[in-house]
Chains A and B, each alone.
Chain A
Amino acid sequence: MTNKARLNLLASVLLPLCVAVLLFILWQTEVLHILLGTDTITLPLPTRIGEIIGQNADAIWEHTQISLRVALGGLVMGSVLGYGIALIATIFPKWGAGGLSIVSAFNAIPIVALAPVINNWTRDISTEVDQRSTVAKMLVVMIFCTASMSINAFRGLTELKPFSEDLMKTYAAKRGTVFLKLRLPNSIPYIFTALKVSVPSSIIGALVSEYFAEDTVGVGRQIRENIVKGQYPTAWAYIAVACIIGIALYAILMLVEHLVMKRRKG
């Protein structure tokens, strides 16, 4: 291992780990509670949170699966839609840029306003509340994830290396060939940039959409229910699970990016 690689490992793994351990110690010894001016009921100890996760592993796993399905379904739908919009904007550059601003405007609508509207749209999809509610939640996440993908993919499809487009022209390449050999590969890194934004926001979107859904399931809904009922340890157990989901999905994304980009270079 070179010195530089060692330093990299230190910075990317050991440092966050040290911070986490320090936070855990401060939290468990209630120093954190003094610093934040709170108590062990509103901010339960990590061991208590862990105990509840252990006791309710089955129920928590159920809710986690539901939230994951919504987050990933919405992420996929939003990313595909976003990439599609970017493609159209690339093919018709004249009004493409304008279209992209509209997409970003949609992204700015708060979920509180969006959720009841979407619930109304999806009411006729199914008589089963869990099915129509899942679709409604996925649509919320989709809207959350569309903008970052369309804007980034559009950049990837249009901001080509200098002269590369000219070079293709000198080869008398057709538009389709330019697209397949130049634009599409050029957009891959931008897709990952977009996903780095939309993976975390898909989880936040899924959790918040559960607040307003007709169905009373999912990690986000459990956080809300338990806080309103004054059950802070249980609420924190679900908050911890939400954090773990976020970190896990991000780690998977980094791994996939690493593999794909390595292949490209090779």
Chain B
Amino acid sequence: MKMKKTLALTLAALMAVQLTACSGSETSSTSQTESQATENSSAGSSDEMTDEERIKAAAEAGKVGNWGLGNEYEIQALLTKYGLPIDYITQDFTMDQFDSDAITLASAMTYNELGLVKNDYDGALNYGDSVGIIDMNDQGVAMLEDNLFCSKKFAEENPNTVKAFVTASMKGWAYACEHPEEAAEIVFAAGSSVSAGHQEYMAKEVAKVVTTDTKGNPVSADKVGQMDEAAMQQTLDLAKKYIKLEDTAASEKLQSFTLDDIRSTEYLTYDPEKDGAPEKTSVSVQLKWLPQCQFMGYYVAQAKGYYEEVGLTVDIISGGGDISETTAVYNGTVDFGVTWVSNLINANAGGMDLLQVAQVYQRSALVLVYKK
């Protein structure tokens, strides 16, 4: 008998918990209609809004989106610039939340998500010119993205291999930027993750990021892969400010970093006569994401035989999902990796000893996209 009472009591308790949970969401749905109303009243003037007003409106409505996982620092720097809290909503790898207005200021890479929003090919949302962008370079919060790195130990033991791989890869990049359509075909043939139309769009946009610096000045073909001192320093400074590590030792290490702890410009040129042959001739490179024109330089160098020219056999390994390229390079699974500079800084703070040997993207490709 007693047992039945206990059972009834537990059941009642369970129901009470559920009821409170439900009523909690009910009250919040009323506040939602209210905020929607205020939003609608301001929507009419959105075309004349300044970037600052747009950022403030989206931040106050809690509708700024980013993927997180180390991609959020530029957005946080931007929010800080306008005196806003650094909170954002996690964006998934589609632009559905932007389409449905769950996010009004959505993160987008110019070469990828922005095309999926603007263009009219299959799988894209066809917004055309009805969307506008806020550029991180213009806002002065640009952090450099795709680079090329290896472990310090690997670079010390195989300097010629590193030099050969860097120069051949950058030759591939320079060619790809001059011939984006051909590069798109090469990548598509190499096992593309996206449609041919999107691949071509991506090739053209990536070419812009590789051959233009943060100030908007052109970068010549022979400078592809260079490390712009000021842009690198800004990346490191913002990283120190916005990377929050709970591990005190790692956090202190991060604050002590200078550019010499994360990059070396020694490997950008290679003279086989003077330097000698590569020590290790068979190498692999881990990409940050699936095969797409974001990495076209490596595919072009492979297809055009630039790696063979310097005596290297190269295995290009595509990433995707939660692949940790820094860990893969650190533990020797692969020799080289492509990552964002901030991810490399994070990894070195965590105790890995990685070295950036080329900086492919010369400006930030991250923008916030909004509906006009």
Known: A231-B346, A234-B245. A264 touches B3 (CB 8 A): yes
- Counting CB contacts under 8 A, is A125 at the interface? yes
Complex Cα spacing A127 to B17, Å: 22
Complex Cα spacing A264 to B100, Å: 54
| Residues of chain B contacted by A38 (CB below 8 angstroms) | 331
Within 8 A of A (CB), among B232-275: 243, 245-248, 250
Q: From the candidates B28, B246, B322, B346, name the one contacting A224 in the complex (CB within 8 A).
A: B322
- Counting CB contacts under 8 A, is A123 at the interface? yes
Complex Cα spacing A188 to B4, Å: 10
- Counting CB contacts under 8 A, is B351 at the interface? yes
Among A126, A184, A228, chain B packs the most CB atoms within 10 A around the CB of A228
B18–A41 touching, CB < 8 Å: no
Known: A128-B62, A216-B90. A55 touches B246 (CB 8 A): yes
| Residues of chain B contacted by A116 (CB below 8 angstroms) | 92, 94
Binds A, one of B29-37, B192-200, B210-218, B296-304: B29-37
B69–A126 touching, CB < 8 Å: no
Number of interface residues of B (CB under 8 A): 51
| 1/0 contact string of B348-362 vs chain A (CB within 8 Å) | 011110000000000
Complex Cα spacing A218 to B117, Å: 31
Q: From the candidates A76, A120, A126, A216, name the one contacting B25 in the complex (CB within 8 A).
A: A126
- Counting CB contacts under 8 A, is B110 at the interface? no
B90–A214 touching, CB < 8 Å: yes
Q: From the candidates B7, B32, B247, name the one contacting A233 in the complex (CB within 8 A).
A: B247
A41–B351 touching, CB < 8 Å: yes
A127–B32 touching, CB < 8 Å: yes
A128–B322 touching, CB < 8 Å: no
B28–A126 touching, CB < 8 Å: yes
Complex Cα spacing A228 to B67, Å: 12
B89–A127 touching, CB < 8 Å: no
Within 8 A of B (CB), among A216-247: 216, 224-225, 227-234, 237
A127–B68 touching, CB < 8 Å: no
A228–B90 touching, CB < 8 Å: no
- Counting CB contacts under 8 A, is B294 at the interface? no
| Residues of chain B contacted by A204 (CB below 8 angstroms) | none
A131–B24 touching, CB < 8 Å: yes
A212–B245 touching, CB < 8 Å: no
Complex Cα spacing A39 to B350, Å: 13
A229–B346 touching, CB < 8 Å: yes
| 1/0 contact string of B57-75 vs chain A (CB within 8 Å) | 0000110000011100000
A263–B2 touching, CB < 8 Å: yes
- Counting CB contacts under 8 A, is A168 at the interface? no
- Counting CB contacts under 8 A, is A47 at the interface? no
B18–A228 touching, CB < 8 Å: no
Complex Cα spacing A128 to B61, Å: 9
B352–A230 touching, CB < 8 Å: yes
Complex Cα spacing A234 to B31, Å: 37
| 1/0 contact string of A50-89 vs chain B (CB within 8 Å) | 0010011001000000000000010011011000000000
A188–B7 touching, CB < 8 Å: yes
A230–B343 touching, CB < 8 Å: yes
A123–B350 touching, CB < 8 Å: no
8 A–B pairs (Cβ distance < 8 Å), ordered by A: A38-B331, A41-B352, A126-B31, A188-B3, A231-B346, A232-B350, A233-B247, A234-B245
Known: A216-B68, A263-B2. 19 other contacts (CB 8 A): A38-B331, A41-B330, A55-B246, A55-B247, A80-B15, A120-B100, A126-B28, A127-B36, A131-B24, A131-B25, A188-B3, A224-B69, A225-B69, A228-B322, A228-B324, A229-B70, A229-B346, A234-B247, A260-B6
Closest 6 CB pairs of A and B: A230-B347, A126-B28, A229-B346, A230-B350, A127-B32, A56-B246
